[in-house]
Structure 1
């Protein structure tokens, strides 16, 4: 496995303001990427070009986050409540309290892994059996992994440990690997690590021979050649499902590496590659936002992001990603 010896340590307590800025960048970047990518979800690049040309901003009148944002808020609230003491029992109880035991309405926009998990929980199955469904390898954990990297800034292994606790209720195998890679990458970016070290952190917490690791390495190796090369290196042509964790994570890290960590370029690269574009852009946005901070996000993209609408998870309605970022980082020291 790759070493993370070059990953900087967590910022000193005196730099709480800088840490808060990166945390806000990660969470707001996730929501912005989600909203930018949502219209292009499940599309091919050729279909995107025919409809919009190259996407360079919002293409809908009222942009908003999807299940990616609402599940990230869900995990962020759970983590803020329990911190490093988080257990699988805590996660399972939260799924029941905030989703499974409620009338969640039409549950629009939810992924197959979430639906399968809820079906199992409602049948009385407990973790880890609740994660035994047909889409345990999906990117549903990767999409909600950023809060763990925010919380465990500078500690990729701890971020990966905590997100795996969360994922035990809903995912197995490659689904867990995808979440661990994203959480570790965000944790490294939160500490100001360069792109290469962020990638190394992600690879260090997953098996070197896993599909996710192979996909991530292939994407980053060709990132200098642009989005077409990244997509060709990762996407399995003709495969109908676009929510594969190895694919989505590879595309997201490839976009982040191709952009050299720049926020705007990373997110637009992910969006214009299509496939599970809301998730890939959300992950790329979280990585680049953690690297660059919230001020790097164009105001015309960040301003429309309001409190969650609860379209997928009514219990998350009214929570804002910036509030989650603040909950997961230490307060600034008084002067």
Structure 2
């Protein structure tokens, strides 16, 4: 089973996003400017990878622990920054979406999980989330979707972390982005786990049109049940982020207090992680650097919250908004979690999910 005609390891330096995609790229409609779409696609997916790499060292840490170790994180705190499962799973889902587009089915997703993940010698599978581990165990037991998603972490942020490519593909169409990411997520998630992915995909889809933070938040809320935990958490975080505070630390504490359940051990809870990510994005008014650093310094599942905040802010403003020293640190993924993804660059996925510069932006 081949996900794409392009092999790994062909990504450029992660600065300009100037390559043309393959002939199978689905075109994107609504009269959107193709060049702007490509810039925002690069911003969304490079932003995801940057946020992932910046947040990884702070994953599962409390803000007080972060401050004791590094002070306030303002950039990379490791000598060799790299993405985690967030980036590698986003690449995996992006490749699958590029192959099937709007015709994507649960069967396509399940087959890809088998072919590229479950049926391979996975190696150490470092950094994989509990939801992905539970899904793989169910697949190896011979279960089929949606039963494969019946495990103890179906509510995790594992779908939210890989949802941005669906918003890139369905630029300007939040409902379609939400539909497609739910198809992908049926193999691994249920309930709030699905809602978290849908909120992120829809938010990125709106951001791909250049929408402001308020419109991005509205798009995210429009595709999930208003009485869901995810919707309540997202609203609370954004409301808290919109208030006036004497300093950044006080603001971050307020956003955390709005959504984090004190003492709860699992930081991969989708309603919490998605709420924190949108709260960081809203507090920063969409500014890329501030969005990502706010998410990182709030801790908890910091690689995922910063990846989502980075995808949203990157989609709004494009890759040019990402500091060069951060963008240049992102290379092809190492396959530390998914060996089959080794050598792909997130900009490969941006190319695959957007039309060529000379292609008509119509469906």
TM-score bucket (shorter structure): over 0.9
Q: 1:162 aligns with which of 158, 174, 180?
A: 180
Root-mean-square deviation (CA, aligned residues, Å) is 1.2
Q: CA deviation at 1:104?
A: 1.0
**What is the Cα deviation at residue 333 of structure 1?**
1.4
* Larger helix fraction of residues: 1
1:188 aligned residue: 206
- 2:96 corresponding residue in structure 1: 78
Number of residues paired by the alignment? 326
Find the aligned partners of 2:167 and 2:242 in 1 and give their Cα distance: 26
* 1:68-93 deviation digits (Å, cap 9, x = unpaired): 00000000000000000000000000
Residue number in structure 2 paired with 1:5: none
* 1:258-277 mapped onto 2 (5 Å cutoff): 258-277=283-302
Q: What's the CA shift string for 1:255-302, capped at 9, x where partnerless? A: 000000000000000000000000000000000000010000001101
Deviations 1:217-268 (A, max 9, x none): 0000010342221111010000000000000000000000000000000000
Partner of 1:249: 274
Matched residue, 1:115: 133
Structure 2 gaps of 5+ residues are 1-27, 244-250
Q: 1:20 aligns with which of 38, 41, 56?
A: 38
1:148 is aligned to: 166
Question: Alignment partner for residue 220 of structure 1, among 229, 235, 238?
Answer: 238
After TM superposition, the runs of 4+ consecutive aligned structure 1 residues lying more than 2 A away are: 9-13
CA deviations over 1:194-232 (Å, ceiling 9, x no partner): 111100000000000000000000000010342221111
Determine if the alignment matches structure 1 residue 327 to structure 2 residue 352.
yes
Per the alignment, residue 3 of structure 1 pairs with: none
Deviations 1:128-185 (A, max 9, x none): 0000000000000000000000000000000000000000000000000000000000
- 2-structure distance, mates of 1:78, 1:258: 33
TM-score, structure 1 normalization: 0.96
